[in-house]
Amino acid sequence: NGSSIAFIGLGNMGARMARNLIKKGRSLKVYDVVPSATAAVEGATPCKTPEEAVKGSSIVITMLPTGKIVKETVLGDNGILNNAPKNGIILDCSTVEPAVEQELSQKAKERGIRYMDAPVSGGIVGAEAATLTFMVGGDKPDVDEVEPLLLNMGAKVHHCGKVGAGQIAKICNNLILGITMIGTAEAMNLGAKLGLDPKLLTSIVNISSGRSWSSDTYNPVPGVMENVPASKGYKGGFLVPLIAKDLGLAEGSALECGAPLPLGALAHQIYRTMISNGYEEKDFSSVYQFLKGVK
């Protein structure tokens, strides 16, 4: 299990991933801009700056909200590149622009540091159970080297190609996710308004052609499934601004290559409208409440 690992960004996903690394016997130094988040990972060494976490760590994992924040954390004065050891590895598990990863990997290379993008799918349920899917962009030998570490936090590792390719896979996946969650919420609301029990409708959909992760793993209707944000007041989980960000990433990439995204664009605007209507701190499955007309 070797030397220590730095873990930066201990939010809904990062804290759960970090706890699994500790459980697997890894030695961890952790940092989050919110001190209580840093303190919440039992068994890890809490750090007051990224610098403190990164110094002497051969691997640095970042799980941060946006590309802008990842860039600041990697390139900042007391950030990762200025403090990571030569030949160290930076693994960015956040969902960000492929171009940001390419730029950061180039800057890392100039310092003799290796950089990979390794975004994840599986949500907080997968992060908690260490069943995440990692979509990795980087050089094959580097990907092989980090695979055992990633498997401490997940069940599958896919090498997608060079740096940035993991993000392309992730952005495409979340384009589907953002759309199917709205579709599921729309249908569940219609069924309920027509008098059908949501649990019954869900059990039918889940063995029929309308089934998706949004219906069978992360159902948006309160009380239909246990342990999902919908049954916990839409707290935690995957916040509305983050799915809106991901659909924005898909639209940015689509503009570059000319692919049409009619439903992605509409889904993006629906989540953005939720942000300006009081849903900013709720899980994205609260689109069910939004369509129903309650906060």
Q: Does 123 bind ligand NAD (CB under 6 A)?
A: yes
Q: Does 220 bind ligand NAD (CB under 6 A)?
A: no
Count CB atoms within 10 A of the CB of residue 266. 13
The nearest distance, CB 236 to ligand NAD, in angstroms, is 8
Cβ closer to ligand NAD: 21 or 201? 21
Number of residues that bind ligand NAD (CB under 6 A): 25
Q: Does 9 bind ligand NAD (CB under 6 A)?
A: yes
Residues 80-99, mask of contacts with ligand NAD (x by CB under 6 A): --------------xx----
Count CB atoms within 10 A of the CB of residue 279. 21
- Residue type (1 letter), 8: I
Q: Which member of 24, 140, 156, 170 is catalytic?
A: 170
Q: What value, to the nearest 5°, has the Cα angle with vertex 153 and ends 46 and 217?
A: 120
Q: Cα-flanking dihedrals φ and ψ of residue 114, to 5°?
A: -90, 145
The nearest distance, CB 34 to ligand NAD, in angstroms, is 4
Residues 13-42, mask of contacts with ligand NAD (x by CB under 6 A): xx-----------------xxx--x-----
Strand partners, 133: 121, 156
Q: Does 118 bind ligand NAD (CB under 6 A)?
A: no
Q: Which of 24, 45, 56, 65 binds ligand NAD (CB under 6 A)?
A: 65
Shortest-Cβ-distance residue relative to ligand NAD? 11
Q: Does 10 bind ligand NAD (CB under 6 A)?
A: yes
User: Which sign does the torsion angle of CA 160, 166, 170, 171 carry?
Assistant: negative
Q: Does 248 bind ligand NAD (CB under 6 A)?
A: no
The nearest distance, CB 206 to ligand NAD, in angstroms, is 20
The nearest distance, CB 68 to ligand NAD, in angstroms, is 9
Are 85 and 53 spatial neighbours (Cβ–Cβ below 8 Å)?
A: no
- Residue type (1 letter), 48: K
Closest CA to 164 of 244, 121, 252, 105: 105
Instruction: Tell me if residue 170 is catalytic.
Output: yes
User: Which sign does the torsion angle of CA 225, 274, 168, 173 carry?
Assistant: positive
Distance CA 214, CA 220 (A): 7
Interacting span for ligand NAD (CB under 6 A) from 152-160, 235-243, 251-259, 267-275? 235-243
Cβ closer to ligand NAD: 191 or 264? 264
Count CB atoms within 10 A of the CB of residue 1. 12
Q: Does 12 bind ligand NAD (CB under 6 A)?
A: yes
Closest CA to 47 of 35, 59, 61: 35
The nearest distance, CB 274 to ligand NAD, in angstroms, is 16
Are 107 and 81 spatial neighbours (Cβ–Cβ below 8 Å)?
A: yes
Interacting span for ligand NAD (CB under 6 A) from 21-29, 118-126, 189-197, 271-279? 118-126
End-to-end Cα separation, the chain, in angstroms: 47
Active-site residues, by number, are 170
